[in-house]
Amino acid sequence: MSNQNDAFKKIIAHSKEYGFIYQSSEIYDGLSAVYDYGPYGSELKKNIKEYWWKSMVQMNENIVGIDASILMHPTTWKASGHVDAFNDPLIDNKTSNKRYRADVLVEEYIAKIEAKANKEITKAAKRFGESFDKDQFVATNPRVVKYHTEMETIANRLGKAMTDGNLDDLKELIVDLKIACPESGSREWTDVRQFNLMFSTQLGTIAGEAGVLYLRPETAQGIFVNFSNVQKTTRQKIPFGIAQIGKAFRNEIVARQFIFRMREFEQMEMQFFIKPGTQQEWYKHWKESRLRWHKALGTADDMLRFHDHDSLAHYADAAVDIEFNFPFGFKELEGIHSRTDFDLRAHGEHSGRKQQYFDPTINENYVPYVVETSIGCDRMFLSVMTNSLIEETITDAKGKTSTRDVLKVHPALAPIKCAVLPLKRNHEGIVAKAKGIFDDLKLSFNCQYDDTGSIGKLYRRQDAIGTPYCITVDFDSLDDNMVTIRERDSMTQERVPIDKVEGIVRERVNMKQLLKSI
């Protein structure tokens, strides 16, 4: 745990030190669970969004993008069920006065049992070496079997209490499991209450209920209310999808995990409209497709897993999370939900305008079913940082060892693609040459010119922000028109003609290669 904690602290500190993420309004001591992206963070985030958008919209002829407003007609949220049901169960500890999500307390309890089971498995794997059969061990070892049965029983009780909205059962589960407040160790809990997560605001000067507006808690509804507009104006035929990237707001009860759980965050969502009855096939398709998208970035297999929902949201007939192994354990990174015709039907009823599709292949009208993929851009950012930030021990030519922090982010996502570094910052010829190279490269990529330190220091700085290539201009460059190009991960240096630099950089930072590999 402490290693994990250290890894998480390191990501938070690194994000701040190198201009990726700052606490919002920090000079006023910050605003809880709201963060700002700095110069490198905003570039990285932009690239993540571009990767998602291109893979969805550009690569699929039957998916189109929109950009809907954050504020929507308030009936939207009545129809979608958010006014009545977008609640989290909260519980307070009477000793520490700390507030928790009751379901999360139970989930964390389950995660602890899982950690114990995994410890047994790791121990056994060490003991048996090559001959270890994990599946057999998991199925037969009495301790592991006991842990797994216990986890299943608790997950079932939690799932049932959540699906039924039974807050008393949820409280009883916390009491039965003797869950203590992580802060005070006390087991004195209040009853569980529902808490609506939507932020509300007022429309113009209209006072009272009539003027209540909500900041959207998900981008999906902006897609649903535009279904007919988009279908008609683009003449898409089912199956087709609508994608959107945008801000969402949730008044989260507990927000203690950096950008994992924010009150203002960004979602990348795609609603795929299909013929009723085909949802299983499309659900499977999007599960596989989304996992490939994550893996194309080089994410190791054991860092991602599927987790079927223990309880289903009011709109879903199947739901799975893609979980990522964050520094604080496996948690939801993306959700894939089979939403049936719940949303379009509800908007049809509330607006009095049927949200239907005429299917020319069967000559019939129907309300399409929907499979949705929904990923938080900020959680994706945190997963990229978790995967990429590495502390390496390196040995120089003289055998001296040191460490370097290097952000081994996929080159297509890197904030800066290439840095141009003059060996001497006061040498007129070198500076002119280096600036010339920089001025040319900046037309193609996000580049940086840096002369504020020794070459060694400049390399370290570029490593820390994940720049795939550094180009050093030295005295010889003036005569031979060649520069040294250094690659971030291998640290290999090569002397190349200046006119080859752009091609070398382009080859690796190109989003095309990444998209091809999905």
CB of 33 to ligand ATP, least distance (A): 7
Contact 408, 466 (CB under 8 A): yes
Question: Which range of residues in 1-9, 11-19, 261-269, 297-305 is near ligand ATP by CB under 6 A?
Answer: 261-269
Tokens in use for 69?
Answer: 């407003």
The pair phi, psi for residue 91, each rounded to 5°, is: -140, 140
Q: What DSSP line would sit under 53-90, residue for residue?
A: HIIIIIT-TTEEEE---SB--THHHHHTTHHHH-EEEE
CB of 104 to ligand ATP, least distance (A): 8
Interacting residue with ligand ATP among 45, 171, 261, 461 (CB under 6 A)? 261
Interacting residue with ligand ATP among 76, 338, 355, 374 (CB under 6 A)? 374
Q: Which residues contact 16 (CB under 8 A, 6 or more apart)?
A: 22, 23
Contacts 24+ apart (CB under 8 A), 358-367: 359/238, 359/275, 360/237, 366/275, 366/276, 367/276, 367/341
Question: Which range of residues in 10-18, 174-182, 258-266, 508-516 is near ligand ATP by CB under 6 A?
Answer: 258-266
According to the binding rule CB under 6 A, does residue 372 interact with ligand ATP? no
Pick the closer one to ligand ATP by CB: 165 or 429: 165
Tokens in use for 240?
Answer: 């087709």
CB of 135 to ligand ATP, least distance (A): 29
Pick the closer one to ligand ATP by CB: 371 or 437: 371
Please report which helix (H) or strand (E) contains residue 305, including its range: strand 304-308
According to the binding rule CB under 6 A, does residue 378 interact with ligand ATP? yes
Question: Which range of residues in 125-133, 153-161, 374-382, 444-452 is near ligand ATP by CB under 6 A?
Answer: 374-382
Contact 116, 82 (CB under 8 A): no
According to the binding rule CB under 6 A, does residue 294 interact with ligand ATP? no
- Please list the helix, strand and coil fractions of the chain in percent, rounded to the nearest 5, in that order: 45, 25, 30
Pick the closer one to ligand ATP by CB: 228 or 251: 251
Tokens in use for 355?
Answer: 């949200």
Interacting residue with ligand ATP among 250, 417, 433, 461 (CB under 6 A)? 250
Please report which helix (H) or strand (E) contains residue 118, including its range: helix 102-128
Question: Which range of residues in 64-72, 262-270, 293-301, 480-488 is near ligand ATP by CB under 6 A?
Answer: 262-270
Please report which helix (H) or strand (E) contains residue 337, including its range: strand 329-340
Contact 66, 223 (CB under 8 A): yes
Pick the closer one to ligand ATP by CB: 37 or 357: 37
Interacting residue with ligand ATP among 157, 379, 417, 461 (CB under 6 A)? 379
Q: Which residues contact 375 (CB under 8 A, 6 or more apart)?
A: 52, 267, 268, 269, 290, 322, 333, 334, 335
Interacting residue with ligand ATP among 43, 332, 450, 474 (CB under 6 A)? 332
Nearest to 235 by CA among 354, 357, 372, 342: 357
Q: How many residues bind ligand ATP (CB under 6 A)?
A: 16
Interacting residue with ligand ATP among 43, 92, 252, 310 (CB under 6 A)? 252
According to the binding rule CB under 6 A, does residue 375 interact with ligand ATP? yes
Pick the closer one to ligand ATP by CB: 378 or 450: 378
Sheet strands (E) in 350-443: 357-359, 364-366, 369-376, 389-395, 401-407, 418-422
- Looking at residue 367, what DSSP letter applies? P
Interacting residue with ligand ATP among 92, 334, 341, 343 (CB under 6 A)? 334
CB of 321 to ligand ATP, least distance (A): 7
Nearest to 394 by CA among 406, 386, 402: 402
Interacting residue with ligand ATP among 262, 296, 344, 371 (CB under 6 A)? 262
Q: How far is CA 295 from CA 102, 322, 406, 466, in A?
A: 33, 12, 21, 19
Residues 342, 47: Cα–Cα separation, whole Å: 33
Pick the closer one to ligand ATP by CB: 47 or 356: 47
Over the Cα atoms of the chain, what is R_g?
26
CB of 229 to ligand ATP, least distance (A): 24
According to the binding rule CB under 6 A, does residue 448 interact with ligand ATP? no
CB of 335 to ligand ATP, least distance (A): 4
Pick the closer one to ligand ATP by CB: 313 or 455: 313
According to the binding rule CB under 6 A, does residue 310 interact with ligand ATP? no
Residues 282, 360: Cα–Cα separation, whole Å: 20
Pick the closer one to ligand ATP by CB: 55 or 267: 267
**Nearest residue to ligand ATP, using CB?**
376
Q: How many CB atoms lie within 10 A of CB 473?
A: 28
CB of 50 to ligand ATP, least distance (A): 18
According to the binding rule CB under 6 A, does residue 333 interact with ligand ATP? yes
CB of 425 to ligand ATP, least distance (A): 42
- Please report, as residue ranges, which positions from 265 to 284 form the binding site for ligand ATP (by CB under 6 A): 265, 267
Q: Per-residue contact track with ligand ATP, 77 to 116, x per CB under 6 A?
A: ----------------------------------------
Nearest to 75 by CA among 352, 306, 382, 370: 352
Contact 344, 367 (CB under 8 A): yes
Q: Per-residue contact track with ligand ATP, 185 to 224, x per CB under 6 A?
A: ---------------------------------x------
Provide the binding-site residues for ligand ATP, judged by CB under 6 A.
Answer: 218, 250, 252, 261-262, 265, 267, 332-335, 374-376, 378-379
